[in-house]
Amino acid sequence: MKAATGTAPFLAALRGERPSRRPVWIMRQAGRYLPEYQELRRSATFEELCTTPELACEATLQPLRRFDLDAAILFSDILVPLAPMGAPFVIEEGGPKTPHPIRTDADVQNLRVVDPREEIPFVADAVRLLKRELGDTPLIGFAGAPFTLAAYLVEGGGSRDFLHLKRMLFRRPDLLERLLDLLADQVADHLKMQVEAGADAVQLFDTWGGILSPADHERFILPRHRRIFDALAGLGVPKILFTKGGGPFLPALATAGADALGLDWLTPIPDALKRTGALPVQGNLDPHALFAPKKELARRVAEICREGDAAPGHVFNLGHGIFPTAPIEAVETVVETVHAHVPGGVS
C-alpha cells in the first residue's frame, strides 16, 4: 500500500503549485460511456454498485485502467447519505424518485442527522479498499451540496421547474433553511468520513445552485457551503466547490472556504480569474465538445490549458459530467492533449 504522495500533480495544482504536468480527471469518469461499466451493470444494479465496496471499487478503477487520469473519484451517488436520514430514493428509469417528498414541518422534523460511519459504512470501506489499489493516484471523495440534495428531497426526484422547492423557498424560507442546515451537517460528516478513510481531496457538487438569484443564493446556499468547508478545515485535504451555472455567483463562491472552484463551460477561465482572485480552478470544456472531430476537440482542450496557465493552479476537467454517449477516443484525445500541454508553449 502506497499513500498518494503530496507530489501528485492533481494535489499540487489544488495547492496552487505548478506540477510537472497539467492534471486531468473527468466528472462522471466512472460510468455509462465505458463498455466495461455497462458490463458491470449487467451483473449488478446501480444501488448494488454504490453499496458494495468491492463493486464500487471496481467501477472507480475502470476509467483509470483505460486512461492516464490524474485522480480517481469514488463511485457513489449524491443521494446515498439521504437514506439513513429517513429519505430513501429508488433509482428508476428517468431518474431517482422518493415516495415521500419532504415538504412539511413534520417531514423535516422526521429527518435525522446520523453517523455515516455506522449507517453507511460501505462508503468508507470502498475508500479504504481503493486506497490500497490506487498507489500514488489521489482519490477524490464527494458529496452533493445541501441545496441540490434539498431539490431532490422536496421535489421527490429530478425536476425541470423546481416548483415545490422554490415554493418552499418563497413561502417557508425558515423551513427550507432548517432542511438545508440538517443537510449541511450530514454532508459535512459524510465528507469527513471519506477523508478519515483516506480520500485525498473532496468535491462538493452543487448541480442546482444555479437556479437562484444571486441574493437568494447568498442567503440560502452560501452559509451551508461555509458550514461544510469549516467542518473540514482542519483535515488538510483540498476542497473543490463545483456549482453548475455558478457563473453569476463566482465572487461569492470564492469566499465559501473551498480551495478551488470548478467551472462549467459558460464561464471562461480568464473571466473567473478576474472575478475570484487567487483560487485554483478546475474545468471547463463543454461536455458536448467530445463529439467534435479530433482536431477541433484538441484545439479546444489546448485553448483551455493555455487559459489555465494564468490560474494559480489548473486542473483540467469537463464543465459537467461526461455524456453516456461520449466516444471513448474523445476521452483519449482529451487526456493526451492535456498532458502534452507545455505552459507558455506555442499553440
Active site residue 161: no
CB of 265 to its own copies, least distance (A): 5
At 144, which helix (H) or strand (E)?
A: strand 139-144
Is 41 labeled as catalytic in the residue annotation?
yes
Residue 166 contacts its own copies per CB under 8 A: yes
Based on the shown chain and the rule CB under 8 A, indicate whether residue 274 belongs to the binding site for its own copies: no
> Measuring CA to CA, which residue among 130, 140, 145, 149 is closest to residue 26?
140
Give residue 315's region: left, alpha or beta (phi > 0; psi -120 to 50): beta
Q: How far is CA 197 from CA 127, 194, 230, in A?
A: 6, 5, 19
Q: Is 37 a catalytic residue?
A: no
Q: Which of 100, 112, 167, 274 binds its own copies (CB under 8 A)?
A: 167
Closest CB to its own copies among 297 and 338? 297
Angle value at C-alpha 40, between 37 and 42, nearest 5 degrees = 115
Q: Which of 15, 21, 66, 77 is labelled catalytic? A: 77
Is there a contact between 98 and 164 (Cβ–Cβ < 8 Å)? no
State the number of binding residues for its own copies (CB under 8 A): 33
Q: How far is the CB of 89 from its own copies (least distance, A)?
A: 19
Cis preceding linkage at 284, omega within 30 = yes
Return the number of the residue (192 or 217) whose C-beta is nearest its own copies: 217
Burial of 332 by CB count in 10 Å (0-12 exposed, 13-18 middle, 19+ buried)?
A: middle
**String of contacts with its own copies for each residue 225-254, x by CB under 8 A:** --------------------x-xx------
- Binder to its own copies among 144, 265, 269, 308 (CB under 8 A)? 265
> What interhelical angle do 173-197 and 146-155 show, nearest 10?
120
By the rule CB under 8 A, 2 interacts with its own copies = no
Residue 99 backbone dihedrals phi, psi, to 5 degrees: -70, -15
- Is residue 152 annotated as a catalytic residue, yes or no? yes
Q: Does 170 bind its own copies (CB under 8 A)?
A: yes
How far apart (Å, rounded) are the C-alpha atoms in residues 284 and 293? 18
Q: Report how far residue 144's alpha carbon sits from residue 184's, in angstroms, rounded to the nearest whole number.
A: 10
Q: Is 268 in the site for its own copies (CB under 8 A)?
A: yes
Buried b (16+ CB within 10 A) or exposed e, 256-273: bbbbbbbbbbebbbeebb
Please report, for the chain, how many H helices and E strands are present, in that order.
17, 9
Asked whether position 28 contacts its own copies by CB under 8 A, the answer is no
Q: Is 65 in the site for its own copies (CB under 8 A)?
A: no
Taking CB under 8 A as the criterion, which residues in 282-301 touch its own copies? 286, 288-289, 291-293, 296-297
Nearer to its own copies among residue 41 and residue 323 (C-beta): 323
Q: Does 161 bind its own copies (CB under 8 A)?
A: yes
Is the Cβ of residue 140 or residue 153 nearer to its own copies in the bound state? 153
Residues in the chain: 347
Q: Is there a catalytic annotation at residue 21?
A: no
The site map against its own copies for 320-339 (x = CB under 8 A) is ---x-x--------------
Q: Does 312 participate in binding its own copies (rule CB under 8 A)?
A: no
- Contact residue for its own copies among 163, 233, 310, 328 (CB under 8 A): 163
Number of Cβ atoms within 10 Å of the Cβ of 296? 11
Identified binder of its own copies from the candidate list 9, 210, 238, 262, rule CB under 8 A: 210
Q: Which residue ranges make up the site for its own copies (CB under 8 A)?
A: 160-163, 166-167, 169-171, 210, 212-216, 245, 247-248, 265-268, 271, 286, 288-289, 291-293, 296-297, 323, 325
Annotated catalytic residues are 28, 32, 41, 77, 152
